[in-house]
């Protein structure tokens, strides 16, 4: 049996999830904590490879002894979160744990992921959102929000999303199925919520930049189907910074 854990983290101080040779990563900190907790090296397989500066409300991973598919421990799962988190820095915590079969894969068994992108939409920046939301100083009114929602609706469905992928990326297919896409206001925050069976590199950040352009009146919401069909990255909006992006939910 493997241990399945759910993790929250602020990604500001990390190069992303995956271990890198010259920068701290989330995986590195989890590996170090697991070694201290269980007494041997572990393989920790994550559900995604979040980029530098990206956060997670719910990141899923499995823990097994290095070189095999199982974890041997007398520690019951209900005690794992507190014990694990005691060996992690303050910006990373394990908040849930359970046993899963040895053949379970944290990445390849994912059915759907949901991301949030937070935009702090006020003339003056708020230091409490620094590094946790993208500051857009031009305040978007209700009409702009309605245009963004109209545009987001065009993204739902099985489509080729190459127009919203970082240039230079290589994948077997750029077709993905977006299950839902919405934009909501929460005080001075605008929150894009999007779920899909998978995401291309920088897909959510480019979609967010495109929807911001819709809100600013630079792109008509009904242009979105043509932009998507073009598979042309240059027709979509900017790639917004990583600071506002959160992996929010993972379904298996």
**Choosing from 41, 43, 51, 103, which is the catalytic residue?**
51
Other CB atoms within 10 Å distance of the CB of residue 21: 6
Please confirm, yes or no, whether 51 is among the known catalytic residues.
Answer: yes
Q: Quickly count: other Cβ atoms within 10 Å of residue 12's Cβ.
A: 15
Residue 178 and residue 176: Cα distance in Å, rounded? 6
Structural tokens at position 106:
């944290």
E strands present in 31-76: 42-46, 55-65
In terms of phi and psi (left: phi > 0; alpha: psi -120 to 50; beta: otherwise), the region of 102 is alpha
Closest Cα to residue 102, out of 43, 40, 21?
43
**Residue 40 in 3-state DSSP?**
coil
Active site residues: 51
């Amino acid at each position: 049996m493997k241990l399945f854990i759910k993790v929250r983290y602020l990604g500001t101080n990390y190069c992303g999830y995956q271990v890198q040779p010259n920068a701290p990563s989330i995986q590195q900190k989890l590996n170090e904590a697991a070694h201290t907790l269980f007494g041997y090296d572990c393989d920790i397989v994550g559900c995604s490879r979040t980029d530098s500066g990206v956060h997670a409300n719910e990141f899923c991973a499995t823990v097994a002894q290095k070189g095999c598919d199982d974890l041997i421990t007398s520690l019951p799962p209900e005690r794992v979160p507190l014990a694990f988190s005691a060996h992690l820095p303050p910006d990373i915590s394990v908040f849930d744990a359970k046993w899963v079969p040895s053949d379970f894969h944290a990445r390849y068994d994912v059915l759907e992921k949901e991301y949030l992108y937070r935009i702090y939409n006020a003339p003056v920046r708020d230091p409490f959102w620094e590094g946790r939301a993208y500051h857009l100083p031009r305040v978007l009114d209700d009409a702009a929000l309605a245009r963004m929602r109209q545009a987001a609706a065009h993204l739902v469905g099985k489509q080729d999303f190459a127009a919203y992928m970082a240039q230079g990326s290589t994948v077997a297919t750029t077709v993905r199925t977006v299950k839902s896409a919405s934009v909501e206001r929460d005080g001075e925050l605008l929150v894009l919520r999007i779920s899909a069976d998978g995401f291309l590199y920088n897909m959510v950040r480019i979609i967010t930049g495109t929807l911001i352009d819709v809100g600013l009146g630079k792109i008509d919401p009904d242009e979105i189907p043509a932009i998507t069909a073009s598979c042309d990255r240059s027709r979509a909006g900017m790639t917004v910074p990583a600071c506002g992006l959160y992996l929010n939910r993972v379904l298996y």
